[in-house]
Structure 1
Amino acid sequence: MNSVKSCLQSGQLNRARELFDKIPYPDLYTLTLLLSAYSTHGLPKQSIALYRKLCKEKDLYPDRYVILSVAKACSLSMDAITAIELHSDAIRFKLSSDLPVGNALVDMFGKCGLIEEAISVFDQLPDKDVISWTSLISAHANCKQSGEALQVFRVMLLSGMKPNSVTLCTVLHVCSAMKAIKFGKEIHGFAVRNRFESDVWVSSGLIDVYAKSFNPHLARHVFDGLPDKDTVSWNVMLSSYFSVGNSEEALELFGKMKSGGLMNCASWNCMISGFAQNGRIIQSIEMFAEMQHSGFRANEITIASVLPACTDVENRRGGKEIHGFIYRYCFIKDKMILTALVLLYAKCGDLMKSRLVFDRMIDKDVVAWNAMIFANSMHGCGEDALCLYYQMIKSGMKPNSMTFMGVLSGCSHSLLVQEGRSIFSSMSCGYGIEQDAEHYSCMVDVLSRAGRLQEAYEFIQGMPMEPKASAWGALLAACRVYKNVELGMISANRLFKIEPENPGNYVLLSNILMNAKLSEDASNIRRLMKDRGVRKAPGRSWIQIKNKVHTFVKGDDNIACRDDIYDFLDKIGEKMKREGYEPDIEFVLQDIRGEEKEESLCSHSERLAVAFGAMHLNGESAIRVFKNLRICGDCHHAIKFMSKILGVGIIVRDKLRFHHFRDGFCSCGDRW
């Protein structure tokens, strides 16, 4: 027995189990030690398996401590089936009326989502203490019954039972989730009257309630009143400022934490995620770098916070560095992190790396499959998206609503009409998923991109719900490609009513009319746009060279290497013309002369960015450019020639999708 205990104390669980299994009739004390050790080391399922084995093979007669240990394991693993069986065992061995056992069973049922069972055990307890009441409150909270949790707290007070700090923290957590500031203030008053205000956990709970209720001033009042602040309270206060978008106050407070040496990994995570959530992406990434230089090692939460930040600014280089960090520190089994990495590479234009990460994932959930399907769809690889979908089904994974969005999007980009129809129909009849307005919009896109405009229009008219802007927008975009003025005007007029502030709809219709030589009608649309005060956002493109992002705006004379860029464009322009390139001046709407129109096209932001990338290739196999709007038609035409002349891949991500240019062709097939 002592040898088992010694092995457990030194963390040798496997050796302890070997020794335990050799004992013919193990005592309950040694069994309890081993059961508890499994749960302590994050192996609650092994604790449950051992208990079941002994019940079956040794005719086990458990005592209070064995039941408590297994109840803890059930809580950790949320094993509802074993929880019910354990309750039956407690009744059979006359332990259910034991107060500590009863409290543990209430807590266990709450953690397993079995609120009716938790209430039943609580009601049958002959005596109740503060732990009983707190366990029931927590059970309601775990089962998403916040209102009932607060009601139990009220009944507890009426019964004369005085809450302790754990009770108050539990109730405050409920108030925080509900943003119930009024009830939170009542708890605050109770805490002051009963001298709980100096308790750092209760005060941290109050700070969190005020923070979640968007009241940082009251949160700061509680924080400043704390005589002994721990790192938790500092971190909660940081979150409070970020929750109301006050990044500057958070940064100032963090500076004080650094001066006092009060930060921990959670503090850095709070800053990284806080900056990211408030749109300060660069600061988020810089904070991650500073964290590493300060000697703090990132954990799973850090990586999960900074990866989306890199994705938002298409920071492929930063993503690759984090990828290396993930493998160095063995985060390769974390599904959430690896899925975020799949999306990062995809959104940064590196579909091959995205697929490599996905293929190396050992355990893929539906989110990971969806991410890879969407990745292929946004890159125009509809066949691959469809293939992934069928692989997912074959693996036994059940698709969800987002899966079908991704697959249908892939079908639209690759003109897979019949496949799209089949997938759309299978949603309801095959998987019991009702199509929503976005799924219908995807199907409109499938038909529209394939040139079946009339069919798409009739499909919209037959929708069982009001069509969204995305449905009419898909049809309008296709009308530009297939030069259908009539349906273009119908679509645009619907969009002018649904989203009158969207400048893209006016621009698209104007382009359709200009291409149809209806210049007066096009002028009327531009005049309507002006009269309504709708302004087209300036085209902006950017490219990352090493660690710096370079941004280009049409006609900006202050861009880096301006003269070199235009000189490069002049030289490659001559080569392009010899290859057969002719500028499409219809994409310049201003009333200017032909030569000036050609010069205007050369100053478009995406062309400037591609030129800058070509001048700074430094051995890179591809140029990756990102644009905030739809790529200009002439620039799209020009970049095809540039890819052929330069002999490198050029990847441009515009508002709608990725365009992969190589050897004079684009992956979109000139339909976007």
Structure 2
Amino acid sequence: MGKSNTTTMSKQALRVFDTHHHHSTTILTTLNLPTLSLPQTRQAHAQILRTGLFLHTHFTTKLLSLYANHLQFSQANTIIKSIQHPDVFSFSTLIHAYSKLNQFTQAVLVFSQLVSHNLFPDTRVIPSVIKSCTGLNSLRCGKQVHGFCVTSGLCKDQFVQSSLVHLYVKCSRMNYAHKVFDEMSQPDVVSCSALVSGYARDGCVDEAKMVFGRMVELGVEPNLVTWNGMVAGFNQSGCYLEAVMVFRDMVLSGFEPDGTSVSSVLPAVGELEDVRVGVQVHGYACKRGIGSDKCVVSALIDMYGKCSCAMEMERVFDEMPQREVGACNALVSGFARNGLTDDALNAFNRLRDQEMELNVVSWTSIIACCSQHGKDIEALDLFRQMQVSGVKPNAVTIPCLLPACGNIAALMHGKAAHGFVLRTGISDSVYVGSALIDMYANCGRIHLARVCFDRMHVRNIVCWNAIMGGYAMHGKANEVIEVFHLMEKNDQKPDFITFTSLLSACSHSGFTEQGEQFFNKMSKDYGVKPRIEHYACLVTLLGRAGKLNEAFSTIENMPFEPDACVWGALLSSCRVHNNINLAEVAANKLFQLEPNNPGNYVLLSNIYANKGLWKEVDRVRDMMKSMGMKKNPGCSWIEIKNKVHMLLAGDASHPQMVKILEKMDNLTMEMKKLGCLPVTSFVLHDVEDQEKEHILCGHSEKLAVVLGLLNTPQRSTLQVIKNLRICGDCHDFMKFVSRFEQREIFVRDTNRFHHFKDGLCSCGDYW
């Protein structure tokens, strides 16, 4: 009986073993299927749990790998935490998966768990960990892993050493990278290429060439990646000539450049503006059959644009077998770079008509083009169209748009853009913040500019200069000086732009002595060498204060040849103080430096006219006529109900012009009743006083203000931008209107901001 029971139990145990073995074999076969779906993985997981195979690390590790491949990392992490005795392979599987899918932070965390379990990683997993540190650009983390490798002896492995070289190159620690490289018993082409590329990218020409030369000594043959790394690296570091020379040596050495080589060298050719070399590279690309490669085409268009070859640029684009958005962006940018705004707009609209899928770069490029070249209204309209088309602006688009808002005082458009910034969470960008400061300052809302500045968590020199420039434009010298001292307390070193704002503010406010002190302290106390623009500010500072002889002496004693800005500053001051002798000296210099600038002729003509020297006025105007020049017409902009209106001096085309002139007559009559007569001396024509009064009524800033009075609620603020300096009669008119109509009026001319309120102007009549 005992023998029979024993036999029966043995048979049962054998059946259980066979069943267990059968299940494990079946599940293992399932887990090893090459294309196991996520539902199938979950079914296998359930079978493992039911059969008790979960205690077998081999099965759980395979599950880990499958879940990781399906990006089910939470499930994978749950499994590894539930394993009682995980082995190195369990963690390695997850680290490899995270690293492969660029989940670098998670890969490093799993490696930390591996070490905390007192497990010893092998040389197969360490490169994945170092790759993750490289992907995170984390030098600190990488050095810790390197230290672990040194203490464990793993750093002698060639793959580990190669990974460390890449890490230190990526983190721009070339001395560390080179030290690891020197410790390699058998450097390979991958490590050599990484080191060469790193030195080239850092602009270390001699070091890059030295490592490249050593490759032959070490028996390592440079490959296409090595050459391309040098070309691209030198281009990125600004060593443009070196990039071109390496490309030439590459061809002479028998290597055949590919699309990457050509598209890396062409930007360097463009920066050198050497179209002759560009044509040669273009010809080589066509000969090699890579001329139609999309990256090469974009690079060719960009190169021809930088070389000011618009026709060639357009020809390359037209010959494309298939239009690509990168080439479209390069074409628009190329036209913009050469100031061909209409061509850029036409190309952009043509691409839209062809239903080309333009991206945020395309829209940003054309908006920037319009904003930078005086087509501000078009820039605003494009921004609206961009959003209608479903393309979302980014942190680059907004700083390109905001100058257009500021240029024409489109405050409501600017505020709308600010709202977009807040909604999308890009307000932390220092470039967006600086652009907002500029926009509000240019729209006359300097207090809002300061609010934006104060709310910035991080500020760079651009932000400090933006708020100082805004205050300077508004003639608030005390505030500029206050911000300057605040800047010093925050350990922000001033630059040349900072001192331009300081000197400009002092000149607007008549702070002559303080301005001279800042000029003298620039190089002495702050190490900023005065530039030509600082001398222009100093000449303005002295000239506005009536110290014209001192201003002229400053020009004569400058350490370099004065430019048009400096002589223009003196001529403008001569206009204020009616100094004909110095005006003629300055004007003659300007005629030589800027023979085609009508503004200089007009300014001298105005000085003569103000003195009643009509023969001299006619002589200057005849000079302009013989050279085919015309006076730039006065032009003003005003935003009413989200629409920007442009008014030209003497232009009667505006649909409300009859009402504007009627309102103007009423205001002029009220002025006369109070004893405020038109200042006809600002009409620089030899005509009767009645005609002079009529001419004064046609000044564009007056027309804009009256249009605003007719179309905005009582007591609301008016904002006007003018393309020329405001004349004294218009200045008096604004002061009267601000009191009579009980309005605040902001007028920005080419010189500064004027804030009219209760019959007074913020400039104190000093401008």
Instruction: Report the AA paired with residue 195 of structure 1.
Output: G
1:395 match: 490
Is 2:540 the counterpart of 1:445? yes
SS of the counterpart of 1:287? helix
2:453 match: 358
8 Å Cα contact 2:133-2:141 kept in structure 1 = no
2:550 match: 455
Equivalent of residue 49 in structure 1, options 115, 122, 140: 140
Give the Cα–Cα distance (whole angstroms) in 2 for the partners of residues 504 and 184 of structure 1: 39
Is 2:273 the counterpart of 1:179? yes
2:294 match: 200
Q: How does 1:138-287 map to 2 (within 5 A)?
A: 138-219=232-313, 222-223=316-317, 225-240=319-334, 242=336, 245=340, 247-248=342-343, 251=346, 255-256=350-351, 259-276=354-371, 279-287=374-382
8 Å Cα contact 1:386-1:411 kept in structure 2 = no
8 Å Cα contact 1:28-1:66 kept in structure 2 = yes
Equivalent of residue 340 in structure 1, options 410, 425, 435: 435
Give the Cα–Cα distance (whole angstroms) in 1 for the partners of residues 555 and 406 of structure 2: 34
Equivalent of residue 626 in structure 1, options 702, 705, 721: 721
SS of the counterpart of 1:630? coil
8 Å Cα contact 1:4-1:19 kept in structure 2 = yes
Is 2:519 the counterpart of 1:424? yes
Instruction: Report the AA paired with residue 529 of structure 1.
Output: V
Alpha-carbon distance, 1:478 to partner: 3.6
- CA shift in 2, pair 1:348/1:112, >3 Å: same
Give the Cα–Cα distance (whole angstroms) in 2 for the partners of residues 320 and 605 of structure 1: 26
Give the Cα–Cα distance (whole angstroms) in 1 for the partners of residues 688 and 353 of structure 2: 61
- Which segments of 5 or more consecutive residues in structure 1 lack a partner in the other structure? none
- CA shift in 2, pair 1:561/1:49, >3 Å: same
2:754 match: 659
Give the Cα–Cα distance (whole angstroms) in 1 for the partners of residues 251 and 98 of structure 2: 46
Q: How does 1:204-603 map to 2 (within 5 A)?
A: 204-219=298-313, 222-223=316-317, 225-240=319-334, 242=336, 245=340, 247-248=342-343, 251=346, 255-256=350-351, 259-276=354-371, 279-482=374-577, 487=582, 491=586, 495=590, 499=594, 504-505=599-600, 508=603, 518-519=611-612, 522-533=613-624, 535-603=630-698
SS of the counterpart of 1:59? helix
Larger Rg: 2
- Which segments of 5 or more consecutive residues in structure 2 lack a partner in the other structure? 1-90
Alpha-carbon distance, 1:355 to partner: 2.0
Greater Cα offset, 459-468 or 333-342 = 459-468
2:205 match: 115
Greater Cα offset, 419-428 or 577-586 = 577-586
Instruction: Report the AA paired with residue 427 of structure 2.
Output: I
- CA shift in 2, pair 1:29/1:403, >3 Å: farther
Q: How does 1:9-28 map to 2 (within 5 A)?
A: 17-22=108-113, 23-24=115-116, 25-27=120-122
8 Å Cα contact 1:71-1:108 kept in structure 2 = no
2:192 match: 102
SS of the counterpart of 2:653? coil
Alpha-carbon distance, 1:526 to partner: 0.9
Instruction: Report the AA paired with residue 49 of structure 1.
Output: R
1:124 match: 214
Instruction: Report the AA paired with residue 523 of structure 1.
Output: W
Is 2:177 the counterpart of 1:86? yes
- CA shift in 2, pair 1:524/1:113, >3 Å: same
Alpha-carbon distance, 1:327 to partner: 1.6
- CA shift in 2, pair 1:181/1:466, >3 Å: closer
Alpha-carbon distance, 1:13 to partner: 5.7
Alpha-carbon distance, 1:104 to partner: 1.0
Instruction: Report the AA paired with residue 102 of structure 1.
Output: C
**1:314-370 Cα shifts (integer Å, max 9, x gaps):** 332222211111121121122222222222222222222222222222222222222
2:66 match: none
Instruction: Report the AA paired with residue 347 of structure 1.
Output: N
8 Å Cα contact 2:259-2:295 kept in structure 1 = yes
- CA shift in 2, pair 1:59/1:296, >3 Å: same
Alpha-carbon distance, 1:624 to partner: 0.8
Give the Cα–Cα distance (whole angstroms) in 1 for the partners of residues 668 and 149 of structure 2: 86
8 Å Cα contact 2:201-2:234 kept in structure 1 = no
Give the Cα–Cα distance (whole angstroms) in 2 for the partners of residues 446 and 548 of structure 1: 37
Alpha-carbon distance, 1:106 to partner: 1.3
8 Å Cα contact 1:316-1:348 kept in structure 2 = yes
Alpha-carbon distance, 1:394 to partner: 2.4
Alpha-carbon distance, 1:424 to partner: 0.7
SS of the counterpart of 1:549? strand
- CA shift in 2, pair 1:431/1:531, >3 Å: same
Equivalent of residue 701 in structure 2, options 594, 598, 606: 606
Identity, % of aligned positions = 34
SS of the counterpart of 2:396? helix
Alpha-carbon distance, 1:498 to partner: 5.1
SS of the counterpart of 2:528? coil
- CA shift in 2, pair 1:285/1:216, >3 Å: same
8 Å Cα contact 1:216-1:240 kept in structure 2 = yes
Give the Cα–Cα distance (whole angstroms) in 1 for the partners of residues 592 and 344 of structure 2: 42
8 Å Cα contact 1:39-1:72 kept in structure 2 = yes
Give the Cα–Cα distance (whole angstroms) in 2 for the partners of residues 59 and 277 of structure 1: 55
Give the Cα–Cα distance (whole angstroms) in 2 for the partners of residues 615 and 480 of structure 1: 34
Alpha-carbon distance, 1:185 to partner: 3.2
8 Å Cα contact 1:640-1:665 kept in structure 2 = yes
Instruction: Report the AA paired with residue 131 of structure 1.
Output: V
Question: How large is the RMSD of aligned CA atoms in angstroms?
Answer: 3.2
Instruction: Report the AA paired with residue 274 of structure 2.
Output: A
Instruction: Report the AA paired with residue 262 of structure 2.
Output: L
8 Å Cα contact 1:453-1:479 kept in structure 2 = yes
Alpha-carbon distance, 1:460 to partner: 3.1
**1:363-400 Cα shifts (integer Å, max 9, x gaps):** 22222222222111111111111222222222222222
- CA shift in 2, pair 1:453/1:185, >3 Å: closer
- TM-score normalised according to structure 1 size: 0.88
SS of the counterpart of 2:638? strand
Alpha-carbon distance, 1:489 to partner: 5.5
Give the Cα–Cα distance (whole angstroms) in 2 for the partners of residues 11 and 619 of structure 1: 61
Give the Cα–Cα distance (whole angstroms) in 1 for the partners of residues 621 and 326 of structure 2: 53
Instruction: Report the AA paired with residue 118 of structure 1.
Output: A
Give the Cα–Cα distance (whole angstroms) in 2 for the partners of residues 488 and 202 of structure 1: 54
Alpha-carbon distance, 1:447 to partner: 1.9
Instruction: Report the AA paired with residue 329 of structure 2.
Output: N
Give the Cα–Cα distance (whole angstroms) in 1 for the partners of residues 589 and 278 of structure 2: 47
- CA shift in 2, pair 1:566/1:510, >3 Å: same
- CA shift in 2, pair 1:87/1:592, >3 Å: same
**1:47-100 Cα shifts (integer Å, max 9, x gaps):** x111222344663543455555555555555x3xx22112212212436x2211
Give the Cα–Cα distance (whole angstroms) in 2 for the partners of residues 641 and 322 of structure 1: 34
- CA shift in 2, pair 1:385/1:31, >3 Å: farther
